[in-house]
Amino acid sequence: MTRLFNFSAGPAMLPAAVIESAQQEMLDWHGSGMSTMEMSHRGKEYMSIAGKAEQDLRDVMDIPNNYKVLFVQGGASMQFAAIPLNLLGDKTSADYINTGMWSKKAIAEAKRFCTVNIAADTSEGGFTSAPSQGELKLNPDAAFVHYTPNETIGGVEFDYIPETGDVPLIADMSSTILSRPVDVSKFGMIYAGAQKNIGPAGLCIVIIREDLLGKAAAQTPTLLNYETHATNGSMYNTPPTYSWYMAGLVFAWIKEQGGLKAMGEINGRKAAKLYAAIDNSGFYANPVAKHHRSWMNVPFTLADADLDAAFLKGASEQGLITLKGHRSVGGMRASIYNAMPEEGVDALVAFMQSFEKNQA
């Protein structure tokens, strides 16, 4: 059996220890005589799994008590519609910061429901930086401010949390959640699709301040209303039980690693090594402003795009897979989420150096 270093942007690697735990309890979870997939979501075994997962996430992220944690379906993309439906209240407009492909999708969906004020837009620079606080044109009468702290495709990450006064700040943290400590109290709502840094696809986590619940538009579908999930412990209907269980194993694993502080130290080191390898070469390049470079998604190009195929082939022979960049950006992209071991980044750096040398 060989586990490769998989640099996929998502679904992405899971910690090997987590998959092994799941394997061990696959046929018979803790003497219940069932796999977790076969359990009633309302039975006491599954309720204990679900409850522990939520508590571990609360511990790991230090989530204040006045926030609800919801385990929902439909991915992060479903929230693009749910957010305006739930949060506009009696307002008619919302502020959106446009820093890349995922912001654009959130904006396009929001336009179906409200007036969108673009508070900042970095498209002119080819989405290679985040706007500064001073550049944000915020409307004090907006229902909320939405942004994407880490743009998964462009590899652009905010190095600060926007200050929005009394207007709730909403963050699509799909590709950066759990990568380092974050002050949840600065946000009205945080959401993240699971398949990058949480667990298997099929689950989306919503962390929402309680005072934002209960003002969904009248036509909001029951299942898109956060209130529905908040008042039913995310069990109004059958939740994605297996993904929720696996996410719980990941949260417990993060605790064992020393929590988000430890994850942040490892992730900072991994990213620094990879960017240093890019910057110290005359062959690889990353276009993102240095202090806005993502810790999780590192796009880079080769000096000659005709060598891309040879690079990918050589990398995969070393067990380094899924490095092809997003079709909109080209080149390569290495996604190095929590589950990518530091040795994986070391192996990638070593391969990049030898590939460059072979071109000389």
Where does this chain bind ligand PLP (CB under 6 A)? 10, 75-77, 102, 148, 152, 172, 174-175, 193
Nearer to ligand PLP, 247 or 277 (CB): 247
Nearest to 53 by CA among 98, 104, 18: 18
Residue 194 beta carbon to ligand PLP: minimum distance, rounded to whole angstroms: 7
Residue closer to ligand PLP (CB basis): 201 or 285: 201
249 burial level (CB within 10 Å; 0-12, 13-18, 19+) = buried
Assess whether 104 carries a catalytic annotation.
no
- Tell me the closest approach of the beta carbon of residue 129 to ligand PLP, in angstroms: 17
Of 135, 131, 167, give the one whose Cα is nearest residue 151. 131
Report cis status (omega within 30 of 0) of the bond before 15.
no
Task: Quote the least distance from Cβ 294 to ligand PLP, whole Å.
Answer: 10
The single residue of 29, 102, 244, 253 carrying the catalytic annotation is: 102
Q: Closest separation between CB of residue 97 and ligand PLP, Å? A: 13
Rank residues 101 and 347 by Cβ distance to ligand PLP and give the closer one.
Answer: 101
Q: How far is the CB of 328 from ligand PLP (least distance, A)?
A: 13
Distance of closest approach, residue 18 Cβ to ligand PLP, in angstroms? 19
Q: Which residues contact 231 (CB under 8 A, 6 or more apart)?
A: none
Taking the complex as a whole, how short is the minimal distance between the CB of residue 187 and ligand PLP, in angstroms?
15
Closest C-alpha to 337, from 287, 249, 279, 266: 266
d(CA 146, CA 165): 14
DSSP 11: S
Cα 238 to Cα 46: distance, rounded to the nearest angstrom: 12
Quick check: is 244 catalytic?
A: no
What secondary structure does DSSP assign to 35-49, as a single string? -GGGS-TTSHHHHHH
How far is the C-alpha of 288 from the C-alpha of 284, rounded, in Å?
13
Amino acid at 60: V
C-alpha distance from residue 143 to each of 66, 91, 93, 107, 258 (Å): 20, 6, 6, 14, 37
Would you call 308 a catalytic residue per the annotation?
no
Any bridge partners for residue 324, and if so which?
332
Angle, helices 241-257 vs 16-24, to 10°: value is 130
Contacts of 304 (CB under 8 A, 6+ apart): none
Q: Give dist(CA 211, CA 167) in Å, integer.
A: 12
| Catalytic choice (29, 68, 95, 196) | 196
Catalytic residue of the set 56, 95, 172, 244: 172
The residues annotated with a catalytic role in the active site are 102, 172, 196
